[in-house]
Chains A and B, each alone.
Chain A
Amino acid sequence: MLAVLTFIVRRSLWTVVVMFVITVVVFFIFFKTPGVDPARALAGRDPSPQVLAEVRQQLGLNRPLWIQYGIMMKKIFITRNLVSYSDQGELIIPEIFAAAPITLSLVFGASVIWVVAAIVMGVAAARLRGTIYDPVLMILALIGLSTPVFWLGQVVILITQVKLHSSIFSWVQLGYTPLTQSPVKWFEGLIFPWITLSILYIGLYARVLRANLLEVQNEDYVRTARAKGLSERRVLLRHTLRTSMITFLSLFGLDFGALVGGGAILTEVVFGIHGVGFLTWESLTNLDLPTIMAVVIYGAFFIVLANALVDVAYAWIDPRVRPT
């Protein structure tokens, strides 16, 4: 128990260090890239001299470096009044928080689909080893891994909105409706983005799970389980699958964190779902750097936090990793 607590404390301290370094790195990329004038970069496309002067004054660009950093962090985390110069001085942080539930809806639905589908596919491939179905399933998984998600999104739009919209897919209205407003519309609007986003992860997880299942199949405890007369089904559920799930779950934690922290941007852009990623993309097209900076910092924090949670959960389940 003490070992776990020590691990949690050490891991939390490292998490804080990483978060601090990330803010410093982002600050340096935006403020100190050699040859880049931060006022010019942050003030949006073709800024007027007045705006430039205003940006310089507000961000304290004539003051020492550490004060510039302090002002920026204060604007992002404490007063939350960082404004976008390309977007009529709109407040950025509340905008990010308003977009977050939309991204969460997208990632949550997709993760349910990919976990279920990947387990079915991985277990099926491992059980059907030696038949033609195993390589076929694995090639399908590899195709899923090799398809760019934004292009897949376009193909899905083409099928559901153009080619077959008048027949079987007439009910599909792509877009986001809040769950609290209409659960049916929420589902109808997001089901295809969910599937699109999950294809890559189904391929990845099915491959990992299959390899893991085949690896533990030769372990002594699995042989013991068979030897004592357990049914194949029970061996699979209670012994092999259970061990393989440790890797599966830690991967899942990392990918879920990465998607919520900004990885879903491509799916959001192609389907026009106004989540955090879409916000980032809009700021890209306006070269609205304050928004990008804030989104990157918040996104990175989310990912670092997810990584830490996964490590702690892992240490809890598997005592061998604790000393790290």
Chain B
Amino acid sequence: MAAIAEQVSTTELRPAAAGRNPWALAWRRLRSNRIALAALGLFILIVVVCLAAPLYAHDLAHIGNPLSPNLNGTTVANGKVVPIMQEGGGILHLGETPIGPTWSLGHYFLGADGLGRDVASLVLYGGRASLQIGLASAVICCVVATVFALIAGFFGGLTDTILSRIMDIVWSFPVILLAICIATVLLTQPNGVKVGFLTIYATSLWVPTFIIALIYVPYVYRPVRGQVLSVVQKEFVEASIAQGASNFRLIFSEILPNVISTVIVLLPLITATNILTESALSYLSVGVQPPNVSWGTIIADGQDLLYTRPWVSLAPGIMIVLTVLALNVLGDGVRDALDPRAKLRVK
């Protein structure tokens, strides 16, 4: 046993690691990957900063609700009181332009958007929506896909064929177009859509969450089902069947623990994809609906101000890039930690 472990792990681990459980080994490998840890730290930092949005907005108490328009307000810039919406400005010096970045915390740090709202607090509150949708849809997507994959891979036969064909069809739909279809139908119903005892309102954050979760199910389903198919044939499953284990027990205590690492590897990558998809849908006005804001909606609003106040869309865009980059780097690190063979094969 020790000899085998050593053979596998000479490049990865110290001999003392032999005999630990695989999760401890994976965690150990992840901990030694500085880049992945830095990415994890950055992601946690972004989450904490966004959760702390009310603290920042607390300083802005004089402007009231940070998400409501504030066209007639004033703020302090360079020690002077100035109106938020300024006359003229821009290339043509016509109309009103929101104030630009003052670079002073609590006083329109990044300037105002077209409705006179503080961009910095919009970015923080928008981040909450974006992160919430990204994480929630990734979890829903992975859970649904794993359950389907377990059922399909375990029972095989007709069940497998039907489930896999359904997944093939969802897969062949253009992702954004499918989301647009569902979202627009909901948006034409201002009073919400009743499904059974539930009423879904188009403005709810759960609409984009469920749409995004649904469209990525096949992307998780396929690799997990492949794993289930190979695990089902292993001896320990056969031994468990011989002991008279129920199907439920076989699926959840024998097979699931052996495929869950694939799901965990996919989770940060799917979260990253979902955050990008949410921002794309919101940019196209079929994602997060007003009065809610997300990074995508701020970028969409910033398009009109691009020539005069570029920070309105630069700031949320930078946040998206940092968040998604952190999740992708973390995902690579988790994959290397949980599946060192992939790395060894490359070497």
Which residue numbers of A lie inside 8 Å of B, CB to CB?
18, 21-22, 25-26, 29-30, 33-36, 40-41, 142-143, 145-151, 154-155, 157-158, 161-162, 211, 214-215, 258, 261-263, 265-266, 269-270, 280-281, 284-285, 287, 289, 292-293, 295-296, 299-300, 303-304, 307
State the CA gap A269–B286 with chains docked (Å): 14
B320 in contact (CB, < 8 A):
yes
From A150, A258, A287, contact of B174 by CB (8 A): A258
B52 within 8 A of A: no
Docked Cα-Cα span, A296 to B172, in Å, equals 12
**Whole-angstrom CA separation of A287 from B181 in the bound complex:** 11
B169 partner residues in chain A, CB cutoff 8 A: 18, 21-22, 25
Q: A157-B306, A265-B284 are in contact. Are A142 and B174 (CB under 8 A)?
A: no
Residue of B168, B174, B182 touching A261 (CB-CB under 8 A): B174
Looking at chain B, what size class is its interface with the partner chain?
35 or more
Q: Give me the 7 closest cross-chain CB pairs, A-B, nearest first.
A: A151-B317, A146-B324, A146-B325, A35-B193, A41-B188, A35-B194, A296-B177
Name the residue on A nearest B307 (C-beta): A162
The answer, yes or no, to whether B310 is at the interface (CB within 8 Å) is yes
Q: How far is the CA of A289 from the CA of B277 in the complex (A)?
A: 21
Assuming the A-B contacts A36-B189, A36-B193, A289-B188, are A300 and B177 also in contact, with contact meaning beta carbons closer than 8 angstroms in the complex? yes
B270 within 8 A of partner (CB): no
Partner of B280, one of A22, A148, A211, A296: A148
Contact mask B148-185 → A, CB, 8 Å, 1/0? Answer: 00000000000000000000110011111110111011
Out of B172, B176, B303, B346, name the residue touching A154 (CB < 8 Å): B303
Given contacts A21-B169, A148-B276, A262-B176, contact A41 B189 (CB under 8 A): yes
Q: Point out the residue from B181, B272, B321 that lies within 8 Å of A30, measured CB to CB.
A: B181
Residues 75-102 of B, flagged 1 when their CB comes within 8 A of A and 0 if not, give 0000000000000000000000000000
Q: CB-nearest residue of chain A relative to B188? A: A41
When distances are taken between beta carbons in the complex, the residues of chain A under 8 Å from B284 are 265-266, 269, 281, 284
Asked if B176 and A307 make an inter-chain contact with CB atoms under 8 angstroms apart, the answer reads no
Besides A151-B321, A154-B310, A214-B346, 16 new A-B residue pairs in contact (Cβ under 8 A), listed by A number: A25-B169, A142-B329, A145-B324, A146-B276, A147-B317, A154-B306, A162-B306, A162-B310, A215-B345, A265-B176, A269-B283, A270-B303, A280-B177, A289-B184, A296-B181, A307-B172
Set of chain B residues within 8 Å of A263, measured between Cβ atoms = 174-176
* Chain B residue with Cβ nearest A129: B346
The residue that B310 contacts in the complex, of A41, A158, A269, A303, with Cβ under 8 A, is: A158
**B-side contacts of A148, CB under 8 Å:** 276, 279-280, 283, 296, 299, 317, 320-321
- Partner of A40 from B174, B188, B314 at Cβ < 8 Å: B188
Q: Which residues of chain B are near A29, meaning CB under 8 Å?
A: 181-182, 185
- Between A and B, 9 residue pairs with Cβ closer than 8 Å are A33-B185, A148-B280, A148-B299, A151-B279, A162-B310, A211-B346, A214-B346, A215-B345, A307-B172
The distance from the CB of A309 to the nearest CB of chain B, in whole angstroms, is 13
Q: Do A151 and B320 have beta carbons less than 8 Å apart?
A: yes
Q: Would A262 and B177 be within 8 Å (CB), given that A150-B299, A157-B306 are in contact?
A: yes
